[in-house]
Structure 1
Amino acid sequence: MSKKTLVSAITAALVVGAASTTFAAANPFSDVPADSWAYDAVTTLAADGVIDGFPDGTYKGQQTMTRYEMAQIVARAMAKTDLEKADKALVDKLAAEFAEELDNLGVRVADLEKKSDNVKWGGELRYTYTNVKDDFEGPNVDNDGNELLFRLDPKAYIGNSGWTANARIDYTVDIDTDSNGNDATVDRIYVEGPLFGATVQAGKLPVFTAQGLVMDDPISGAQVAFGSDVFNTTIAAGRYNETHESFGVKNGKDITAEYYGVQFDYTPNDNLELNAGYTALNNVDVIANYGANILLADGADNDLGIWYVGGKYAFDKNVALAGQYAKSDADDYDTAWTAELQYKGADIADAGSWGMYAGYRSIDVLSVVHQTYDDIIDAGYKGAVVGVQYVPAENILATVEYFDGKNIVADDLNMDSDASKFFGRVDFFF
């Protein structure tokens, strides 16, 4: 991106009325004459400390800018506290575009996000409709669902240490019965910050592995990530206790286990992402009984190990192919894989943006811990998936997804196994 293009794109966001600003008499850059179309904007941005020039006193407006240079400018813009609402919205769009580079700036950006109040609030209100059909009428199948969820995501900055305290609080309402769900639940509560060159999380924290195929749920423990932009390692350990994902039929017991995991991520360029890892659940407490196949025995000290590999390749800015493969050491129903072709992508900061995907998922009941996909019914199903996302207005996301496939266990038993799911959701982010 040239600096001329850059100035055109961000002047409105970073300058509050250039015409009303009093400029210093001296020209800050020798190669930006007073009669230049960009003089007022460049001078104002320089005076505000948003941009700076080269040591020789030039601006070099025709020189190509790197994304990291752009991210530094956006970071400085984020520090400005006197922007109008519309100007701040444009800065937020730039921050979303350069989110990865801003992330890599680390604590400096976190410091810039702080307000006079050291607590930052975010969250969402969302409506979800689901319709599930399963000829086998498998476990945990709810034929229709209408749910409202209100979520708060507070983040508190702990002095100037670079550490934050984070939480996620959920409250649900079942529209079909016009009844509230359980009391508000604290789904996450943890601290995060730098330590010895790594990023550390501790508490009840989110774990996301294998692009969500193997794990997308909290554990109570710790997670450490370290490495570089090209090669990164994440290690997690803690206690896992979940009540809403199926490992088959649970006879009165929740799934509880000691959780251990490691993931390696390799990103050699902007087009390719590769990952591999291993997850272990030790001392699993659960019954999973399908016909004659007793997958895990109640009361025994059961261990379940899962290894996985996958990645994503972007052919261009619009088209990408993503896939994951996982296999556990269970005796049966031990394999999962997913592949999808993605086109474009919805960005909540960009009204009118949209994306879609089509693919196939096959997830055996003992091949994953807690898969992330809303389209498939649950672990224990296989079939084709398709989905579309659209942003009708800023910070509003509409999602429609469909699954058409089979119940894996019923199919193995030569029973009626056809299954389908329609999923629709509207998210309002704040």
Structure 2
Amino acid sequence: MKTKVLAALAATMAVGATCAFAANPFVDVPSDSWAYKSVVELADAGIIQGVDGQYFQGNRNITRYEAAEMVAKAMAHMDKASVEQRALINKLADEYADELNNLGVRVSALENRVGNVKLTGDARIKYAHQESYKHLDNTTGKITDAGKKNDASWMYRVRIRANAQVNDRTKVTYGITTGDRSFADNSAASSENNPYTDIAKVDYNFGGNNWNLSVGRTDAYHLGGDRAYGYNYGDIFDRAELKYQNDKFAATAGYGKFKTDGSDTDYGKVTGKNATDTEDALSGVKTGYGELEGFFGGGRAAGSALGVYYNDFTRADGTNHGTDDVFHADDLWGAYVSANLGKWNALANYEHVSFVDGAKNINKDDNADVWIGRLTYGKAGFATPKSWDAWVEYINAEDGAFIGGNSTSWRFSKDMDNIESWGVGADYTFAKNAMFQVMQSFGTNTKDGNAEDPGEQTRAQFVFVF
């Protein structure tokens, strides 16, 4: 969606009356223009910068991303606004909520005054069902029927985040989570079921807000970054990461170690090998990683994107596999394209896993691939009641393509490898900050070997943010 610069100016000029009058910075705004005083006041307040520092270009179309930047800067002047002006700015913040969230640290540095601590969080109630529970036999490597039909469970998760703005460049984030807890779980007194720290990091923003150094624990690192499907690991990750980004390009480099919360460790089959039922195959594995992304047709916040990424794995002992002979992925690289076509979004994602020397999958290959596609119509946003979307996806994963851990996908991690499957789903925001989501798989089958086909999966959940 595009709008006129003058329209965005009129919407944000509520703070203009509080700014000191200064000299006109734009050569194309004459002193007898009807907008002269407002343009000068907004420029003096830092809400607008014009083009190339000299021209206002009042007839130029702007993107939603540019409009969101002006709203963010107006939010930084909230202390000077009247009650009516604050209401207008808050209304604009709701309108551009998705773009403001995508601006990340850049908006946070403007929205949060130094010394403030903001508490946020979310709560989720989830129902997960599988037609027939299939069990991976660690001796034969085959999936067999464990005799549990219509396996279903209700779970909940609560997360709390504290965001502290130390200064105009430094932000500290700390968070705790309950993890997924079954309503039927009677072992809450067990220490392994206690809430745990899933975020503890420091972000330092510099270089004109284009560079960000982040050190510590993040809650949902997944291979491929924020735009890719997130087929592989999507859980706790301790790392140091440096990122450069602007409206057209982003480059990320980092190094860290995978962590697990034990919530889905019944599946340990990795690159053709079998782990024990109590061990997560990816736990303790380290990786150096990098990602390059390009944005077009609307910029980083609202446009289409394409990216490539790479991970180089080692075990904690410095090898690609430990004495338990579990983890055998040497490296992984992937690529994605996310294209916005009106109200449609098309995502295509590919990943390639290479095994260490001597490690093979059931087809005796030394590598494995996964192809993923998702088509989405509409866009559900927590800040926009009655917004919705619907999607369909396709996954084709060779044996060994899923390297372990908890995937960002809605599917059970134990059934992510050596499969071909379709899925459909929908998201609906039934009230502000409250969303209902439903997902269903179909046409799922085991690609290679004699293992039985996994049962189809159903998932429904309510998610609340605060």
Q: Scaled by the length of structure 1, what TM-score is found?
A: 0.77
Distance 1:365 1:379, change over 3 A: farther
Q: Is the aligned partner of 1:312 residue 2:341?
A: no
Partner of 1:169: 176
| Greater mean alpha carbon deviation, residues 39-48 or residues 243-252 | 39-48
Q: Report if the CA contact (8 A) 1:237-1:260 is conserved.
A: yes
CA drift at 1:198: 3.8
Instruction: Tell me how far apart the structure 2 counterparts of residues 24 and 253 of structure 1 sit (CA, whole Å).
Output: 64
Q: Is the aligned partner of 1:323 residue 2:348?
A: yes
Partner of 1:269: 296
1:194 to 205, 223, 232: 205
Instruction: Tell me how far apart the structure 2 counterparts of residues 365 and 417 of structure 1 sit (CA, whole Å).
Output: 14
Q: Report if the CA contact (8 A) 1:123-1:153 is conserved.
A: yes
2:123 to 125, 133, 149: 125
1:412 maps to a residue whose letter is G
Partner of 1:290: none
1:170 maps to a residue whose letter is T
1:157 to 162, 165, 171: 165
Distance 1:51 1:317, change over 3 A: same
2:221 to 207, 230, 233: 207
Partner of 1:247: 268
Instruction: Tell me how far apart the structure 1 counterparts of residues 56 and 244 of structure 2 sit (CA, whole Å).
Output: 36
2:126 maps to a residue whose letter is T
Between the aligned residues of both structures, percent identity stands at: 21
2:194 maps to a residue whose letter is D
CA drift at 1:123: 0.8
- Write the mapping of 1:30-429 to structure 2, written as runs, cut at 5 A: 30=31, 33=34, 50=47, 62-65=59-62, 67=64, 69-82=66-79, 84=83, 86-87=87-88, 89-99=90-100, 102-103=103-104, 107=106, 109-115=107-113, 117-134=115-132, 136-138=134-136, 143-160=151-168, 162-171=169-178, 173-177=181-185, 180=188, 182-194=193-205, 198-205=211-218, 206-210=220-224, 211=228, 212-226=230-244, 228-242=246-260, 243=262, 244-245=264-265, 246-248=267-269, 249-255=275-281, 256-270=283-297, 272-283=304-315, 299-300=324-325, 303-314=328-339, 316-328=341-353, 329=355, 330-332=359-361, 334-364=368-398, 366-367=400-401, 368-370=403-405, 371-375=407-411, 378-380=415-417, 381-406=419-444, 408=446, 412-413=449-450, 415-429=451-465
Q: Which runs of 5+ in 2 are unaligned?
A: 25-29, 138-145, 270-274, 298-302, 363-367
Distance 1:194 1:281, change over 3 A: same
Q: Scaled by the length of structure 2, what TM-score is found?
A: 0.72
- Write the mapping of 1:15-34 to structure 2, written as runs, cut at 5 A: 15=14, 30=31, 33=34
Instruction: Tell me how far apart the structure 2 counterparts of residues 281 and 403 of structure 1 sit (CA, whole Å).
Output: 31
Instruction: Tell me how far apart the structure 1 counterparts of residues 233 and 72 of structure 2 sit (CA, whole Å).
Output: 32
**Greater relative CO, 1 or 2 (CA 8 Å, sep 6+):** 2
Instruction: Tell me how far apart the structure 1 counterparts of residues 21 and 200 of structure 2 sit (CA, whole Å).
Output: 53
Secondary structure of the residue that 2:91 maps to in structure 1? helix
Distance 1:207 1:403, change over 3 A: same
Q: Deviations over 1:112-160 (max 9, x none)?
A: 2223642122111221111112363448999212122211121112233
Q: Report if the CA contact (8 A) 1:405-1:418 is conserved.
A: no
Distance 1:419 1:149, change over 3 A: same
